[in-house]
Amino acid sequence: MSIEIKITNQTNHCKISLVGRCTIYTVSKLKESFIEVIAANQNILIDLEKVTDFDTAGLQLFIAAKNMGTRENKKIKFISHPVCIIALFDLYGLTSFFGDKIILTAEEKEQFVFSYGIKKLPSYIY
């Protein structure tokens, strides 16, 4: 039940790479890092490729980070979304809120509705 945070400063942005579980048990550690990075940088890239588990506490942290960036005129972009994160974005209709480019395989596209509750529930709900 842990999360590893790697922060690297690059030429025109700061990159946060997350490895592990982004859940209620780890978000307090992430919150501190997010606040520090957002305060110190104009452009932030958050790499999610190696996130293995994600729950609504993680989702709330991502929403708070995105809102904080918007308030402070910072650009925050999430990249390399794993299926566990896309599932919650889809469930709560937040894909457009984050505005990130999400790349899915044909098989993964079948798992998601992206209709935000107007038709059928996605298969992972049942």
Q: What is the pTM of this model?
A: 0.85
Q: What is the pLDDT of residue 123?
A: 56
Q: What is the pLDDT of residue 33?
A: 92
Contact 97, 122 (CB under 8 A): no
Q: What is the pLDDT of residue 22?
A: 96
Q: What is the pLDDT of residue 17?
A: 97
Mean pLDDT by runs of 10 across the 126 residues of the chain is: 91 95 94 94 97 96 96 96 92 89 86 64 52
Q: What is the pLDDT of residue 120?
A: 52
Beta strands in 12-121 (DSSP E): 14-22, 43-54, 75-79
Q: What is the pLDDT of residue 126?
A: 46
Q: What is the pLDDT of residue 103?
A: 86
